[in-house]
Amino acid sequence: MENMTTQQVAGGAAETMQYQPIIPRKQKMAKSRKLFIIAMLAYPIIHFLVFWVYINFNTILLSFQKYSFVRGEEVFFGIKNYRNFFIMLGDEIGGKVLRESLINSLWYFVFNNFILLPISIVCAYLLFKKVFAEKVFRVIFFLPNIISIVVLSMCFKFMFNGDFGPIHVALESLGFSMPKDGLFMTEGSAQIMIFVYCLWAGIGYNVLLLSGSIARVPTEILEAGKIDGIGMAREFIQIVVPLIMGTVSTLFVTGSMVMFTLYLQPMLFTKGQYGTYTIAYYIVDQVNAGDLYFAAAIGILCSLVGIPLIQGIKVLMEKITPSVEF
């Protein structure tokens, strides 16, 4: 009787275990993997929806609105914000700063692509060839990229201070005629000094990318050139530059975008004074003044001009850039 009871209990236990749901380990791992992927994708998707879709949609709405102090709310303003932009642009006195900001922004396009970029290519090649004091130059080029732009700009401005700046004092002692208020507080020289700063601070980033591209050039090609007796100049122009044109093209496109986005440098150095406004800083200045609606309209106009322009430059660079695989 006892044995039968034991068998019955064992059979009942086996039957119970038979109907219990068993989740295999692989299924648990698959579920955890899905949750991990969802969690990783959630942040960039939410970021895109909030900081791109919502921000841009709201900017478009703001450009057609105006705040009514009578009604205490935002009201529809039509295209008057856009019309005010062109009216101000044609105003001889009131539109001076706006015209100045557009001209300066175009100058940044020229500076980035036709001054900074060629110098960066030459410097990257010289570092690749390990010229004299190559390690010292690497530190000089890369140091601005690891220091906060606020700290860096303060130090740079301090060196050219009209009262006690060491470089200002040194140039005066050498007989150079220096502005009394300093180079950053004088019409004409202020914009040039910001260009000098952008050259010093921006060359390291370009050199870093270009150095990586040059390092990928097959050594067999360079050795074949040496056997043929070509010098550094011909090696640079006829071999290295054509092989790194893909990276050069990318830097040209990104350098073109700067004319619509650069604002920190004039803000930190001159606050837009002495003829140093850019269109991006002009928009920031309008926001700080409380006119979000006019700033939004200018931003939309810049987008309408900038998007096809940058895309056109990208297509042009792809056509004129040789397609090289190595």
Report the chain's mean pLDDT, rounded to a whole number: 85
The yes-or-no verdict on residue 60 having pLDDT over 90 is yes
Specify the pTM.
0.81
- Report phi then psi at 75, rounded to 5: -125, 160
Q: pLDDT tens digit string along 102-149?
A: 999 999 999 999 999 999 999 999 888 887 777 777 777 777 777 888
Q: What domains lie within the chain, and their CATH numbers?
A: 92-320 (1.10.3720.10)
pLDDT in tens, 260-289: 999 999 999 999 999 999 999 999 999 998
The pLDDT, as a whole number, for residue 196 is 92
More confident residue, 189 or 14: 189
pLDDT tens for each residue of 215-249:
888 888 888 888 888 888 899 998 899 999 989 99
3-state helix, strand, coil in the chain (%, to 5): 75, 5, 20
Report residue 125 as tokens.
Answer: 């090649």
Mean pLDDT of 299-325: 89
Q: E strands of 138-270, at which residues?
A: none
**High-pLDDT (> 90) share of the chain, %:** 42
Give yes or no for residue 173 having a pLDDT over 50. yes
Read off the DSSP letter of residue 68. Answer: E
What pLDDT score was predicted for residue 230?
86
- Lowest-confidence pick of 47-56, 69-78, 264-273: 69-78
**What is the helix (H) or strand (E) element at residue 37, kind and residue range?**
helix 25-48
Question: Which residues have C-beta within 8 Å of that of residue 292, sequence separation ≥ 6?
Answer: 62, 286
With 50 as the cut, is the pLDDT of residue 1 above it?
Answer: no
Find out whether 251 and 74 touch, Cβ atoms under 8 Å.
no
Confidence class of residue 37 from pLDDT cuts 50, 70 and 90? confident
- Tell me if residue 321 falls in helix, strand or coil: coil
CB-CB contact of 185 with 179 (8 Å)? yes
User: Which of these ranges, 6-15, 108-117, 124-133, 202-211, has the smallest mean pLDDT?
Assistant: 6-15
Q: Six-digit token pair at 111?
A: 């500076």
**What one-character DSSP code corresponds to residue 73?**
E
Integer angstrom CA distances of residue 179 from 47, 184, 215, 240, 325: 48, 9, 44, 43, 52
Q: Determine contact, residues 277/190, Cβ cutoff 8 Å.
A: no
- Average pLDDT in the 95-99 region? 91
Q: How many residues are listed for the chain in this entry?
A: 326
pLDDT at 24: 66
User: To which H or E segment does residue 76 belong?
Assistant: strand 73-76
Taking a C-beta distance cutoff of 8 angstroms, is the pair 183, 161 a contact? no
What pLDDT, on the 0 to 100 scale, is given for residue 9? 47
